[in-house]
Chain A
Amino acid sequence: MDAVFKALADPTRRQLLDNLHARNGQTLGALCEEMNMTRQAVSKHLAILEEANLVVTFRRGREKEHYLNPAPIFEIADRWIDKFERGKLRALTDLKKNLERDEE
C-alpha cells in the first residue's frame, strides 16, 4: 500500500494515469509525446507506477502497451468504505456526474 501512495504522490505520475484513463493501452512513445517529456523521464515514472501495480503492461507484437490498473485504488477505497455506504456513494458520484454534465 505504501508503494501506491508513493506513486500517487507525484503530479507527473497522476498525469500519466489520467492519460491512460483517457486512452488505455498507449506505448511509451505515445505517452512521451503527450507528456512532452523524454523517454528516460517517462520510463522512470512508469516503472514506479508498475511497481505499485497501478500500471500493467502487455506485449503486442513489438510494442509494449501500458494500461491503467484500477485494482490497487479500488482495494484501498474498499478498506475504509463501509459496505452499506458503497451503494450510496456510487449514487452520489453518478448524481454529481449528471449534474456537471447538465451544466456543460
Chain B
Amino acid sequence: MSKPSFVYVTYIRTTAEKLWQALVNPEANRQYWFGAHQESDWKKGAPWKIVFADGRIADTGEIVDIDPLRRIVIKWRNEIMPELKAEGYTRCTITLEPQGALVKLTIMHEAEREGRHKMIDAVQSGWPLILASLKSLLETGQALEGTDRLPEE
C-alpha cells in the first residue's frame, strides 16, 4: 500500500544552474510562485518556510537533505489552514537531471502516512501552475500571467 503522493515531471529548456537559482532565489520565486517566496539557508537541517507577498507564513519545515544543482528534500507543513496543519508533515523531493539541452525536473510530494491526506490533495492543484509558470519563465523570460500574485477570491 502506497502513501498519498503527488508527482510532476517536466522537461525545461535551460541549465541546471539557472533552474537551481530559480528554485532557491526569493526574487525569482516571487515571479512564478503566486508572489510568495521561500526563505532558507539551503543547508542540511536548516529551517525553511514559504512567505506570501503580504508577509503571512504559508508553510514551514526543514531542509532534510540538499545536493546543490541536483536535489532538495524538504520536510513541509502547511501553516495557514488548520485542517492541513493538523495533518502534520509531508516530504517534498525536488530533483534536477540535465538531459542534453533540457533539464528534467521531478517533484515528488508525499505524505508520511497512509490514508486520505488533504495537504496532498491541495498541492495537486498548486504545483502544476507553479511549475508550468517556472518553465515559462526559464524558457521565455516570462512567467505565466497571474502567477505573480495569489488568485483573487
Spell out A's residues near B (CB within 8 Å). Answer: 23-26, 53, 56, 58, 65, 67-71, 74-75, 78, 83-84, 86-87, 90
* Closest CB in chain B relative to A3 CB, distance in Å: 13
Majority DSSP secondary structure for residues of B touching A: mixed
* Closest CB in chain A relative to B16 CB, distance in Å: 18
- Pick the contact of A71: B3, B8, B146, B152 (CB < 8 A): B8
Known: A24-B2, A74-B128, A78-B132. A69 touches B8 (CB 8 A): yes
Which A residue sits closest to B133, measured CB to CB? A78
Q: CA–CA, A68 to B7, complex, Å?
A: 7
Is B151's beta carbon under 8 Å from chain A?
Answer: yes
Determine whether the beta carbon of B108 is less than 8 Å from that of A58.
Answer: yes
Spell out B's residues near A (CB within 8 Å). Answer: 2-11, 106, 108, 124-125, 128-129, 131-132, 135, 144-146, 151-152
- Count of inter-chain pairs, beta carbons less than 8 A: 52
Determine whether the beta carbon of A74 is less than 8 Å from that of B132.
Answer: yes
Residues of A close to B10: CB separation below 8 A: 71, 75
Q: CA–CA, A68 to B131, complex, Å?
A: 16
Residues of B close to A87: CB separation below 8 A: 146, 151-152
Determine whether the beta carbon of A56 is less than 8 Å from that of B5.
Answer: no
- Pick the contact of B146: A24, A26, A58, A83 (CB < 8 A): A83
